[in-house]
């Protein structure tokens, strides 16, 4: 087999498989699939966003993390007198949430530069070939599936904010419906120019010039210097032993990698495989692990600002620090009273993930996001920018307070798991702070409970929020009731939901087969060659 891919939509997975079929490797597949996702999964991701990828090559044991998340803008510029920064309220049903959009919500984007750099460093096929599937969709339009169309409807106040956005998302006077074709004017020409010019097109070419001109004219903060000097970081993974496996996680700017590593170190103290899956005892332990991680995050947030990254990571993951929380968990379980959970602010889960393994043993785990989008289109480009500066959870000290050039932290956590140097699992997820709980449970389901990959990904999940364990439909009602009688706050969901993430995963099974599993909460799709 030449390889397998799992992604957030059929068109995305098919594009990756096409590159494998044409002789490309896992990086070629991931890059081509990502560019297609910016059209086919337009409800959750856009070209103007950012991402993080992890690559692992089983032939030489090398791992590298490509961090192309967003920087704060404003290098060499003077803030305008009036910022284009407008609040929009989204109704999620049980609650509402405010987001900010406009030119001043746009952080320095990394998707184009990061994906082009990965392709140049590790791919086999030319960029023009990798962009062919996306260019086809841009020319012909894409028929939106139910998940993507429903997400667009949910975010209608953002996706109908300007005339140009309405031309894309509501061309017939109503928000695009499942089965209708969505077309983005000018995007095909933009992608064709990108194929010819490469990453410089987004640094100082026509696209960069159009972005900056629009920003300067309309109250934005992005400058030519921001785009020209943006750096894709190549970093070493955080490597954590877990049982007989080794888990490779991205370092900061991914806060998620550090926090999942902490959770795994806690979980390794317990023989969780002896707990019946989904039992009250199992749910109690998950609650306490998640609660302890929220308490520990207070230290991480402070240390990551006060000391060098390597020192902060080392201190946070030290046995001495982790053991303190293990003792707290044991006490909470022994006395039968839930431990304290610190609240975490979350945004809507507008993120997408894809995972690839090729037949030569090269793996890619790639997560991208654009926030909810900035609510406008850069004129005559089809380019929809991000709104990373308009998400409160990314800016706990207030909007526009970080210095220009500083990388914004993210919860995205593309992950690779090894066994004896061989790839066992490639996983990641969308879903804001639920990324951590989704990945943790998929890891435990596969590595501890020895589930098959599709079961590990699509089994019901839980997530701790504000001291209440959110229990997705599918958990045993008696176990949840027993946990509640023990004094734990629970909220029973009557359905599956994107709230619990989208952990599209691929695996090298113990029998040597390459397998893939799409998360059915988020329109997951798989393809193999």
H or E element in which residue 369 lies: strand 362-369
Do the beta carbons of residue 256 and residue 436 sit within 8 Å? yes
Torsion of CA 117, 121, 124, 130, to 10 degrees: 0
Q: Is 351 a catalytic residue?
A: yes
| Residues 386, 390: Cα–Cα separation, whole Å | 9
Do the beta carbons of residue 506 and residue 131 sit within 8 Å? no
HSE on the CB side for 251, CA within 13 Å? 20
Output b/e per residue, 177-212; b: 16+ Cβ within 10 A.
eeeeebbbebbbbbbeebbebbbebbbebbbbebbb
Can you give the C-alpha Rg of the chain in angstroms? 22
Beta-sheet pairing, 468-471 with 489-492: parallel
Crossing angle for the helix pair 132-140 and 26-40, to the nearest 10 degrees: 10
DSSP state for residue 105 in the 8-state scheme: G
- Count of C-beta atoms within a 10 Å radius of residue 422: 12
DSSP string, 479-524: HHHHHHHTT-EEEE-SS--GGG----EEEE-TTS-EEEE--GGGT-
| Residues 54, 234: Cα–Cα separation, whole Å | 10
Between the two ends of the chain, the Cα-to-Cα distance in Å is: 6
DSSP three-state, residue 116: helix
Do the beta carbons of residue 62 and residue 363 sit within 8 Å? no
Q: Alpha-carbon torsion 283, 287, 290, 296, what sign?
A: negative
Chain centroid offset of residue 113 CA: 17
Beta-sheet pairing, 422-427 with 415-419: antiparallel
Find the catalytic residue in 12, 351, 367, 381.
Answer: 351
| Residues 69, 107: Cα–Cα separation, whole Å | 9
The three state secondary structure string of 423-438 is EEEEECCCCCCHHHHH
User: Active-site positions?
Assistant: 351
């Amino acid at each position: 087999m030449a390889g397998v891919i799992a992604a957030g939509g059929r068109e995305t997975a098919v594009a990756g498989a096409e590159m494998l079929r044409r002789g490309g490797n896992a990086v070629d597949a991931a890059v081509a699939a990502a560019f297609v996702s910016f059209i086919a999964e337009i409800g959750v991701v856009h070209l103007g966003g950012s991402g993080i990828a992890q690559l692992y090559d089983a032939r030489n044991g090398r791992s590298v993390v490509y961090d192309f998340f967003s920087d704060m803008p404003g290098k060499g510029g003077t803030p305008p007198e009036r910022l284009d920064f407008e609040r929009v309220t989204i109704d999620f049903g049980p609650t509402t949430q405010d987001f900010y959009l406009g030119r001043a919500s746009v952080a320095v984007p990394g998707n184009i530069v990061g994906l082009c750099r990965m392709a140049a460093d590790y791919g086999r096929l030319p960029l023009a070939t990798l962009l062919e599937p996306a260019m086809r969709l841009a020319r012909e339009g894409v028929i939106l599936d139910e998940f993507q169309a429903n997400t667009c409807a949910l975010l209608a106040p953002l996706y109908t904010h300007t005339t140009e956005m309405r031309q894309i998302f509501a061309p017939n006077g109503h928000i695009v419906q499942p089965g209708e074709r969505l077309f983005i004017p000018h995007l095909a020409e933009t992608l064709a120019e990108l194929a010819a010019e490469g990453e410089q097109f987004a640094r100082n070419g026509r696209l960069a010039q159009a972005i900056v001109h629009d920003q300067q004219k309309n109250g934005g903060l992005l400058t030519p210097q921001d785009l020209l000097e943006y750096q894709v970081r190549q970093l070493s993974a955080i490597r954590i032993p877990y049982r007989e496996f080794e888990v490779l996680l991205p370092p900061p700017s991914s806060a998620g990698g550090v926090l999942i590593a902490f959770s795994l170190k806690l979980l390794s103290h317990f023989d969780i495989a002896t707990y019946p899956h989904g039992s009250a005892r199992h749910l109690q332990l998950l609650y306490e692990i998640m609660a302890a991680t929220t308490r520990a995050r207070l230290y991480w947030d402070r240390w990551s600002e006060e000391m060098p990254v390597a020192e902060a990571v080392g201190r946070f993951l030290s046995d001495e620090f982790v053991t303190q929380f293990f003792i707290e968990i044991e006490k909470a379980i022994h006395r039968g009273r839930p431990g304290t959970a610190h609240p975490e602010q979350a945004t809507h889960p507008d993120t997408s993930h894809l995972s690839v393994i090729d037949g030569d043993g090269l793996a890619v785990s790639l997560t991208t996001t654009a926030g909810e989008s900035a609510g406008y289109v850069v004129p005559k480009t089809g380019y929809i920018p991000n709104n990373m500066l308009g998400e409160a959870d990314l800016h706990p000290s207030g909007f526009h307070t970080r210095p220009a050039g500083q990388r914004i932290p993210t919860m995205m956590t593309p992950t690779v798991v090894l066994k004896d140097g061989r790839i066992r699992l490639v996983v990641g997820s969308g879903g804001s702070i639920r990324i951590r709980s989704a990945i943790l449970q998929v890891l435990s389901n596969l590595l501890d409970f020895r589930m098959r990959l599709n079961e590990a990904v699509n089994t019901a999940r839980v997530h701790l929020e504000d001291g209440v364990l959110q229990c997705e439909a599918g958990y045993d009602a008696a176990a949840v009731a027993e946990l509640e009688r023990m004094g734990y706050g629970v909220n029973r969901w009557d359905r599956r939901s994107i709230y619990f993430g989208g952990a599209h995963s691929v695996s090298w099974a113990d029998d040597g087969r390459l397998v893939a599993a799409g998360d059915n909460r988020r329109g997951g799709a798989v393809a193999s060659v």
